[in-house]
Amino acid sequence: MNKNSENISAWKRFMKSMTKAHDLGTEEDIMLDHDYDGIKELDNVLPPWWLAGFYITIAISIFYYIQVFYNSEEYSQAEEFATEIAEGKAQVEAYKAANPQLFDDSNIVALTDEESLAKGKALFTEKTCFACHLADLGGSIGPNLTDNKWILGGDVKSIFNTISKGGRPGKGMIAWESTISREERIQLASYIVSMQGTQPATPKAPEGDITWPEE
């Protein structure tokens, strides 16, 4: 023990009691007899705070084990999980029922206001739709989106579905429903609809057997 230990502050005494740390220069008092090629070992004790946490962990573990062992018939994590999943699904369905306009794709109509079309145009560029359809929608790798011939349908619902679910397998058109919000997909589909009948610089030959608008 250091001679001046009685003169240290209350805080330092508290920290010393919590760590059981020895003062520098008193290593000889806790030196063990081991000697490994000149390397000696100090007999430091584990800090009380660590021991307290260790014992508390053991006590909690024993309590938890007893609870699970004796109440296994009354409590099941699997059943609790299944119950919470069922409750969550019920809440989702209730929200869908209360807000059908957010989930019922049969109610989709093409947006015509300038703000929505501007956002749709921005999405067309941001999501690199122009890489396959060109900036003026005249078509390149992908089909021309300005004529009246469509592969999967040219109405706003069909275009929305193509954007959401992707194009034909193996043709490179990916599904965007997990990346773009529903509102943004409607805006993008509306912008494409608004561009039908325009005159691109180098229009690609019509593709598809679906005529839109219907003749």
**Which pLDDT score, from 0 to 100, does residue 72 have?**
63
Average pLDDT over residues 26-38: 76
Distance separating alpha carbons of residues 61 and 58, to the nearest angstrom: 5
Tokens of 93: 């369905």
Is it the case that residue 89 has pLDDT exceeding 60? Answer: yes
Tokens of 63: 């309590």
Phi, psi of 31 (to 5 degrees): -75, 130
Range of 3-7, 8-12, 34-38, 206-210 with top mean pLDDT: 206-210
Average pLDDT over residues 100-129: 89
Residue pLDDT, tens place only, 150-166: 999 999 999 999 999 99
Whether the model pTM is above 0.85: no
Domains along the chain with CATH numbers: 108-211 (1.10.760.10)
Distance separating alpha carbons of residues 55 and 12, to the nearest angstrom: 25
| Angle 109-111-116 from CA coordinates, rounded to 5° | 145
Whose CA is closest to 120, among 160, 171, 152, 148?
A: 160
